[in-house]
Amino acid sequence: MHMDQESLPDPSDGSVLFADVCDSTRLYERAGDTVALGAIRQCIALMKSRSAAAQGRVVKTIGDEIMVLFPAAENAMRAALDMQEAVAGLAPVAGATLSIHIGFHHGPILSDESGDVFGDTVNLAARLAKLASRGQIITSKNAVEQLSARLRQMTRHLYPIQVRGKHQMIELYEAIWQQNPDLTLVAPVELAFSRSALLSLRYRETVFEMNTASAPVTIGRDVTMSIVVTDRQVSRFQATVEPRGGRFVLIDRSSNGTHVKIDGEDALILRRDEITLRGHGWITFAQPKEYVDEGIEFFVEGK
């Protein structure tokens, strides 16, 4: 039960972390209920044990996701790194590699008598977890500034995002937990903002115009999305379009995938993956563009 603001004690600083098992729906389809449930429980047990080892308190388990409160960002960072390494060491299940995505933020925490926690810090941590891709740890500048020099060296700055209800942009960082020669190079923010690329997204009668300094546009069935698509086959949070290094990147966050057709190129479907939008094309959901009457039309101008 949510408590009135007046009944909550004064906030104290802490770090909130959300960690979620990736693609659990597909795992159930591929491996069957019993095997998939066992694998997911193993992932959650590892996430909880690594949290406890870093002095974290598991506040709640939400489906395949856990929410953990840590006394400091240092603890949250160590737990996040250990979680990723532990899950990456698990054997594949029905040919599928198990993975998780994590987000954490540091700031003021409100708590009630039941031990549940509330506030902007919690909300932003949950948002960061949703922005994290498969095998990724996303955190904030606030958290990184609290880290020791050694752990701070294991992060890299990504880009700023606009969060609903906040005037200032939130600077995103990624925690690097493995050596990856394919790691995407991130262009400096100053260079990205100096470019003149423009993106138009048109859905029915709604048009969104974006430049390289715009806030991300969210797409999905939930009424809080920037573009609300009222199709039952569309996930509540289907996808995000965000400026990155002078480009516009479409990121799928759905259960069923996001279809993309760029003029002059083969159609493709994104499943927890991303693509740079270019030229003119269409974004659709349940099926490719040739089989549906509507979708999101996009135009990219300049580079």
Kindly report, residue by residue over 117-170, the tens digit of the pLDDT: 999 999 999 989 988 888 899 999 999 999 999 999 999 888 777 666 666 778
Return the domain boundaries, the chain.
10-175, 191-301
Nearest to residue 125, comparing CAs of 59, 187, 44?
59
Pick one of 3.40.190.10, 1.20.120.160, 3.40.50.720, 2.60.200.20 as the CATH number of 191-301: 2.60.200.20
pLDDT at 231 over 90: no
In this structure, the dihedral spanned by the alpha carbons of residues 64, 70, 74 and 77, taken in order and rounded to 10 degrees, is 0
pLDDT at 249 over 80: yes
pLDDT for res 188? 47
pLDDT for res 269? 92
Non-local CB neighbours of 219 within 8 Å, separated by 6+ positions: 225, 226, 227, 229, 238, 239, 240, 241, 283, 296
pLDDT for res 187? 45
pLDDT for res 303? 53
- Look at the pTM and tell me if it is higher than 0.95: no
pLDDT for res 104? 97
Beta bridge partners, 31, equal none
Backbone angles phi, psi at 195, to 5 degrees: -80, 160
CATH, range 10-175: 3.30.70.1230
Distance CA 108, CA 130 (A): 21
Show the tokens assigned to 23.
Answer: 């693609």
Quote the DSSP letter at residue 196. -
Percent of the chain with pLDDT over 70: 88
pLDDT for res 196? 58
Q: 2-11, 135-144, 284-293: which has the minimum mean pLDDT?
A: 2-11
pLDDT for res 171? 87
Beta bridge partners, 117, equal 111
What separation in angstroms does the CA of 297 have from each of 17, 121, 189, 199, 211?
Answer: 36, 35, 27, 10, 16
Quick: pLDDT tens for 167-193: 677 888 999 887 554 454 444 444 444
pLDDT at 234 over 80: yes
pLDDT for res 206? 83
Quote the DSSP letter at residue 96. B
Q: Are 84 and 177 in contact (CB under 8 A)?
A: yes
Nearest to residue 141, comparing CAs of 157, 122, 154, 162?
157
